[in-house]
């Protein structure tokens, strides 16, 4: 029962949409009706600016961290429940019960989850992702590189990094989910019409 409880709590934590709350607080706007329509840090940057975007990024990351730590703490370190709690928080961000199940793509929350579960792999993949964003200015591409890269590194080096193998299976599920949520971005990347970081869509 405690395992089910912590997974549900993790979903509810993930369902808190900080981009929506901050957008309403600052400018009385629903972030999902402006810019790309995505309830996340990148769209917050386009619509509200740097300060709110950084705040959203950190808070959304924190959701993933808290979910994984709750899973570990309340189950005496069960890696499967910790990973499941992290996945639940990502699902909550993507389909939040509080906001009509219209959320974001879960990248920041995924960063929090992966950094807590598999820090070394996440750091390496994150560095590669940051370099790709600096070069291409495509946040979506960097996000996919980070998530898939962390998954691959975890699978290849799980024995050497002492990661439970169950983490790798959950990371595969998270990667599949992320690529599916970014399917429109992938199409725009292929068509070379994807928006680049720094392109603003101010609220009228």
- Residues ≥6 apart with Cβ < 8 Å to 161: 118, 120, 121, 154
Q: How far apart are CA 44 and CA 32, in angstroms?
A: 10
Residue 25, token pair as written in the block = 């607080």
pTM score? 0.91
Residue pair 149/124 in contact by the 8 Å Cβ criterion:
yes
Q: Where are the domains of the chain?
A: 2-191
39 pLDDT band, cuts 50/70/90, is confident
Could you report the per-residue pLDDT of 65-103, keeping only the tens digit for each?
999 999 999 999 999 999 999 999 999 999 999 999 999
In this prediction, residues 30-54 reach a mean pLDDT of 88
Residue pair 122/37 in contact by the 8 Å Cβ criterion:
no
DSSP state of 198: T
* Residue 183: predicted pLDDT: 93
Higher pLDDT: 100 or 37? It is 100
Could you report the per-residue pLDDT of 114-170, keeping only the tens digit for each?
999 999 999 999 999 999 999 999 999 999 999 999 999 999 988 788 899 999 999
Could you report the per-residue pLDDT of 169-194, keeping only the tens digit for each?
999 999 999 999 999 999 999 999 99
């Amino acid at each position: 029962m405690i395992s089910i409880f912590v997974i549900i709590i993790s979903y509810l934590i993930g369902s808190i949409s900080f981009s929506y709350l901050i957008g309403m607080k600052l400018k009385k706007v629903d972030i999902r009706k402006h810019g790309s329509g995505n309830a996340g840090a990148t769209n917050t940057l386009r619509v509200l600016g740097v300060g709110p975007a950084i705040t959203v990024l950190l808070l959304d990351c924190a959701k993933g961290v808290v979910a994984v730590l709750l899973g570990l703490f309340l189950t005496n370190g069960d890696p499967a429940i910790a990973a499941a709690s992290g996945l639940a928080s990502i699902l909550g961000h993507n389909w939040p019960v509080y906001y009509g199940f219209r959320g974001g793509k879960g990248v920041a929350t995924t960063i929090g989850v992966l950094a807590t579960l598999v820090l070394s792999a996440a750091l390496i993949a994150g560095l590669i992702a940051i370099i790709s964003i600096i070069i291409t200015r495509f946040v979506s591409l960097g996000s996919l590189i980070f998530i898939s890269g962390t998954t691959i590194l975890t699978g290849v080096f799980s024995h050497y990094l002492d990661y439970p193998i169950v983490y790798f299976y959950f990371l595969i599920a998270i990667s599949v989910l992320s690529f599916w949520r970014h399917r429109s971005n992938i199409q725009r990347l292929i068509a070379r019409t994807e928006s680049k970081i720094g392109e603003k869509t101010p609220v009228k």
